[in-house]
Structure 1
């Protein structure tokens, strides 16, 4: 034997791991190009159909034709833009109802609100909740009006 030739042992000769070589059916999913193209086309068309259904059947916000009202304080001024001129007094042709001021009086300063609501969707769509408001009285006042329509209050917690 010459030095350029050497004898190597082959695993085929030893027959140690016959299970490592398999000539059977391969496992997995194999899809040809035509079926893959059809599946992709089906997916894209399902996404487009879902988008169209949502667009046409979801509730839309209707334009009322009126401009949105700016936030105003008690004196009719916008909080971001102070008024530079006095408002023009005009007398309305028909008397309208006087707007009820539902804001907290300036004598009260709210410190902390805690509102817990539990809606019951099944049944009559009722809501059970808990409201806690902590306020500081800044100026002496004889009347504090809170709008608590359909809310049960515990008078022992009012201090």
Structure 2
């Protein structure tokens, strides 16, 4: 049985290549968009203003859209579109529309329009209604954790 030999060149290549590979992996993760979107559409086409006005997810139409923060937003009416554009940060979901429970746990996950909650004038979305119920067990604690993790979880 022979002992494998390692050349200086092989060690040097490994030492140089490892950080380069790691930087590519980090760069790829850093490319995650600041707003969760499904085919570049925020909240899967639900109108963010409707949550506040109608108290329910209402789907927008292609007739009433706006581009904001690199994402297309749909609205149920021209009024809702104008309201959003006057102050988008007041209506856009927290944590870039990523799952509030996931962000509180230190990672990101997709969301569905039906799993939502407005807390102190801010819209939070979750992966599913089941996950939303888990998040709701400690809303203040989960918001505190989410705020501490956001936007670092995108890195």
Same fold (TM over 0.5): no
Structure whose residues are more often helix by fraction: 2
TM-score by length of 1: 0.23
TM-score by length of 2: 0.24
